[in-house]
Chain A
Amino acid sequence: MIESIRKAVIEMDDEKAIELVSIALKEKTDPVDILEKGLISGMQEVATLFARKEYYVPEVLLCSEAFYAGFDIIKPLIGKSSQQSKTKVVLGVIEGDIHDIGKNIVKVMMEAGGYEVIDLGRDVPIAKFIEVVETEKPDILAISSLMTTTMVHMANIISELEQRKLRDTVKVIVGGAPVNEEFAARIKADGYSPDAPSAVKLVEKIIGG
Chain B
Amino acid sequence: MNDMLTSRERFGLLVIDEQPDRCNIMPLITSHAATVKGMKLRDYYTNGENMARAQIATVEKYEHDAISIFSEVGIIAEAMGSEFEYPENDLPILRTPVLEKKDIEEIKLPSPRADGRLPVYLEAIEYAYAALGDRIPILAYIPAPFTTAMMLSDPNKFLIQTIREPSRVESIVDRSLAAAIELCYHVIDAGGLPIIVDPLASSSVVSPKTYRQYALPSERKLVDFLHRYDLDIILHICGDTSPILDLLPQTRADLISIDQVNMQQAIDKLSSRVRIIGNYDTSRLAFSTPEDIEAEVRYMVEGALHAKKGYIAATGCEVPIKAPEKNVVAFIDTVKEVGWYWV
CB pair A59–B163 under 8 Å, yes or no, is yes
CB pair B91–A53 under 8 Å, yes or no, is no
**Known contacts being A58-B210, A183-B287, A186-B287, is A148 close to B321, with CB within 8 Å?**
yes
Kindly report which residue of chain B lies nearest to residue A152, judged by CB atoms.
B322
A182 to chain B, nearest CB (A): 5
CB pair A180–B160 under 8 Å, yes or no, is no
CA distance A179 to B286 in the complex (A): 11
A125 to chain B, nearest CB (A): 14
The interface centre, meaning the residue of A56, A98, A104 with most chain B CB atoms within 10 A of its CB, is A56
Q: Mark B209-232, 1 if CB is under 8 A from A, else 0.
A: 010000000000000000000000
B104 within 8 A of partner (CB):
no
Q: B87 contacts which chain A residues (CB < 8 A)?
A: 96
CA distance A182 to B284 in the complex (A): 9
In residues 45-61 of chain A, which contact B (Cβ within 8 Å)? 53, 55-59, 61
In residues 151-209 of chain A, which contact B (Cβ within 8 Å)? 152, 177-180, 182-183, 186
CB pair B90–A96 under 8 Å, yes or no, is yes
Kindly report which residue of chain A lies nearest to residue B209, judged by CB atoms.
A56
CB pair A101–B283 under 8 Å, yes or no, is no
B99 to chain A, nearest CB (A): 16
Contact of A58 (CB < 8 Å), options: B90, B163, B239, B288: B163
CB pair A101–B156 under 8 Å, yes or no, is yes
CB pair B159–A101 under 8 Å, yes or no, is yes
Q: A148 contacts which chain B residues (CB < 8 A)?
A: 283, 286, 320-322
Kindly report which residue of chain B lies nearest to residue A96, judged by CB atoms.
B90
Contact of B93 (CB < 8 Å), options: A62, A96, A104: A96
A149 within 8 A of partner (CB):
yes
Kindly report which residue of chain A lies nearest to residue B95, judged by CB atoms.
A98
Kindly report which residue of chain A lies nearest to residue B281, judged by CB atoms.
A180
CB pair B90–A57 under 8 Å, yes or no, is no
CB pair B205–A56 under 8 Å, yes or no, is yes
Kindly report which residue of chain A lies nearest to residue B204, judged by CB atoms.
A177
CB pair B203–A62 under 8 Å, yes or no, is no
A89 within 8 A of partner (CB):
no
Contact of B163 (CB < 8 Å), options: A12, A180, A183: A12
A74 within 8 A of partner (CB):
no
B94 within 8 A of partner (CB):
yes
The interface centre, meaning the residue of B41, B87, B156 with most chain A CB atoms within 10 A of its CB, is B156
CA distance A199 to B196 in the complex (A): 33
CA distance A177 to B316 in the complex (A): 13
CB pair B160–A58 under 8 Å, yes or no, is yes
CB pair B163–A98 under 8 Å, yes or no, is no
CA distance A157 to B288 in the complex (A): 22
CA distance A183 to B283 in the complex (A): 9
CA distance A98 to B206 in the complex (A): 19
**Known contacts being A61-B156, A62-B163, is A56 close to B210, with CB within 8 Å?**
yes
Q: B303 contacts which chain A residues (CB < 8 A)?
A: none
Contact of B90 (CB < 8 Å), options: A55, A59, A149, A177: A149
B30 to chain A, nearest CB (A): 11
Q: A57 contacts which chain B residues (CB < 8 A)?
A: 159, 205-206
B47 within 8 A of partner (CB):
no
Q: A65 contacts which chain B residues (CB < 8 A)?
A: 160
**Known contacts being A98-B94, A149-B321, is A182 close to B160, with CB within 8 Å?**
no
Q: B101 contacts which chain A residues (CB < 8 A)?
A: none
CB pair A58–B162 under 8 Å, yes or no, is yes
Q: A61 contacts which chain B residues (CB < 8 A)?
A: 156, 159-160
Kindly report which residue of chain A lies nearest to residue B202, judged by CB atoms.
A56
In residues 38-92 of chain A, which contact B (Cβ within 8 Å)? 53, 55-59, 61-62, 65
Q: A178 contacts which chain B residues (CB < 8 A)?
A: 283, 286, 320
The interface centre, meaning the residue of A61, A62, A149 with most chain B CB atoms within 10 A of its CB, is A149
Kindly report which residue of chain B lies nearest to residue A97, judged by CB atoms.
B93
A126 within 8 A of partner (CB):
no
A147 within 8 A of partner (CB):
yes
CA distance A142 to B87 in the complex (A): 25
The interface centre, meaning the residue of A58, A96, A186 with most chain B CB atoms within 10 A of its CB, is A58
In residues 16-35 of chain A, which contact B (Cβ within 8 Å)? none
Q: B210 contacts which chain A residues (CB < 8 A)?
A: 56, 58
Q: B159 contacts which chain A residues (CB < 8 A)?
A: 57-58, 61, 101
B262 within 8 A of partner (CB):
no
Kindly report which residue of chain B lies nearest to residue A185, judged by CB atoms.
B287
Q: A100-B156, A152-B322 are in contact. List 9 more A-B contacts (CB 8 A).
A: A12-B163, A53-B203, A56-B210, A57-B206, A58-B160, A101-B155, A104-B156, A148-B320, A186-B287
Closest A-B pairs by Cβ, 4 of them: A58-B159, A56-B207, A148-B320, A149-B90
Q: List, sorted by A's number, 26 A–B pairs whose CB atoms are closer than 8 Å.
A: A12-B163, A56-B205, A57-B206, A58-B159, A58-B160, A58-B163, A58-B210, A59-B163, A62-B163, A96-B93, A98-B95, A99-B155, A101-B159, A147-B90, A148-B283, A149-B41, A150-B90, A177-B204, A178-B283, A178-B286, A180-B283, A180-B287, A182-B283, A182-B287, A183-B283, A183-B286
